């Protein structure tokens, strides 16, 4: 046991330290390398542990620690760089910002509606510029279809057609204007640009639906994004069947994770009373759901002698609670 502990200590601490140093060092780069240089560094980093294992009897302990540290640093530095290179390849071309584009794609998530319009994620399948020339766009966009006036090409404001009843999985043909992600850098504030990066959204924009724009067209309903379709159906059922709009918003937030369904005035009350965190699905909600599911499954399991002989009720309750909690987490937007 003592020997195993010493061997574990030889690589565990330097690997953990290297996992921190590698990304931290890569983030200091003023400009990204090419993907080939990162791949070479990744290969070298992967070879170092093999060298450390082959030479473990000839190397001093300090030498083995140094090799593990160097390997972990090189691997994490290279993978962070490769992720950045892959992300930058799909970035929006600056020449396309602010131009009217005609794009075809699929609504990829449950749209968020408010009085100003609808915001939704859009998976791009095809895109063309005003001259019908194909252009390359990021694979996923965050779009707004606003009901209020938006700027036209000549700078004047144009009224927009009311946003349609968008549903996940629908294929649409729309005219849009896009821009690269931008966000405020206020200390201790919400980092909107970082959130877009985490979500894989590399451009934002809005649907052009003015009187001089081509009318948006719903092309088809597909089976894509079935979980989002189910979430949308449940949210719509809640909003239709619960007469009190405020309670409907709270139920939608707790059942499907649609926090935008809660009115702004209610959010102010929740923040002032210190219960805002209870309106957002978190680990607390998932854990409570797991406990309740496990208790119910265990109670039902114990009613069958055959089931109890096949598998103990407490084990079935544990497995069932974890499985149902995971399903709830997925259904509520993860």
Q: How far apart are CA 317 and CA 302, in angstroms?
A: 10
Instruction: Please give the helix or strand (H or E) that residue 174 lies within, else none.
Output: strand 170-179
What is the pLDDT, as a whole number, of residue 1? 46
Q: How many CB atoms lie within 10 A of CB 12?
A: 11
Residue by residue, what is the 3-state secondary structure of 47-114? HHHHHHHHCCCCCCHHHHHHHHHHHHHHHHHHHHHHHHHHHHHCCCCHHHCCCCEEEEEEECCCCEEE
**Residue 14, Cα to own-chain centre: how many angstroms?**
31
Residues in contact with 309: Cβ distance below 8 Å, sequence separation at least 6, in sequence order: none
Per the CB < 8 A criterion, the answer to whether 159 and 209 are in contact is: no
What is the pLDDT, as a whole number, of residue 155? 66
What is the pLDDT, as a whole number, of residue 5? 46
- pTM of the complete model: 0.79
Token match 């990162």: residue?
Answer: 38
What is the pLDDT, as a whole number, of residue 59? 67
What is the pLDDT, as a whole number, of residue 209? 86
pLDDT in tens, 150-166: 766 666 777 777 788 89
Nearest to 143 by CA among 202, 221, 189, 185: 202
Number of H helices, E strands in the chain: 10, 9
**In this structure, what token pair is assigned to residue 161?**
């057609």
Q: Is 34 helix (H, G, I), strand (E, B) or coil?
A: coil
Q: Is 187 helix (H, G, I), strand (E, B) or coil?
A: coil
Per the CB < 8 A criterion, the answer to whether 194 and 183 are in contact is: yes
What is the pLDDT, as a whole number, of residue 8? 47
Q: How far apart are CA 204 and CA 207, in angstroms?
A: 10
Give me the residues of the chain with pLDDT under 70, please.
1-9, 55-59, 151-155
**In this structure, what token pair is assigned to residue 217?**
């067209």
pLDDT in tens, 52-79: 777 666 667 787 888 889 999 999 999 9
Chain length of the chain: 334
């Amino acid at each position: 046991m003592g020997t195993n502990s010493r061997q574990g200590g030889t690589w565990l601490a330097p690997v953990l330290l290297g996992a921190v140093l590698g990304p931290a060092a890569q983030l200091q780069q003023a400009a990204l390398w090419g993907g080939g240089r990162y791949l070479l560094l990744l290969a070298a980093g992967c070879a170092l542990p093999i060298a450390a294992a082959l030479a473990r009897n000839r190397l001093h302990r300090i030498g083995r620690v140094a090799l593990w540290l160097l390997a972990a640093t090189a691997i994490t530095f290279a993978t962070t760089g490769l992720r950045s290179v892959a992300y930058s390849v799909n970035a929006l071309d600056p020449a396309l910002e602010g131009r009217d584009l005609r794009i075809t794609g699929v609504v990829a998530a449950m749209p968020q509606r408010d009085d100003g319009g609808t915001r939704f994620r859009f998976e791009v399948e095809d895109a063309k510029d005003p001259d019908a020339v194909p252009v390359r766009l990021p694979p996923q966009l965050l779009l707004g279809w606003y009901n209020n006036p938006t700027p036209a090409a000549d700078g004047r404001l144009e009224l927009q057609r009311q946003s349609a009843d968008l549903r996940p999985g629908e294929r649409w043909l729309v005219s849009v204007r896009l821009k690269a992600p931008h966000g405020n850098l206020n200390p201790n504030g919400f980092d909107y640009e970082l959130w877009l990066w985490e979500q894989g959204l590399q451009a934002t924009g809005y649907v052009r639906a003015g009187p001089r724009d081509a009318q948006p067209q719903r092309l088809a309903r597909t089976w894509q994004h079935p979980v989002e379709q189910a979430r949308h159906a449940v949210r719509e059922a809640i909003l239709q069947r619960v007469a009190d709009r405020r309670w409907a918003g709270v139920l939608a937030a707790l059942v499907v994770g649609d926090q935008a369904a809660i009115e702004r005035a209610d959010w102010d009350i929740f923040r002032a009373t210190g219960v805002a965190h209870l309106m957002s699905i978190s680990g607390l909600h998932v854990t409570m759901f797991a406990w309740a599911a496990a208790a119910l499954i265990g109670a039902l399991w114990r009613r069958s002698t055959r089931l109890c002989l096949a598998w103990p009720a407490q084990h079935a309750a544990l497995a069932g609670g974890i499985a149902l909690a995971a399903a709830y987490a997925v259904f509520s937007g993860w």
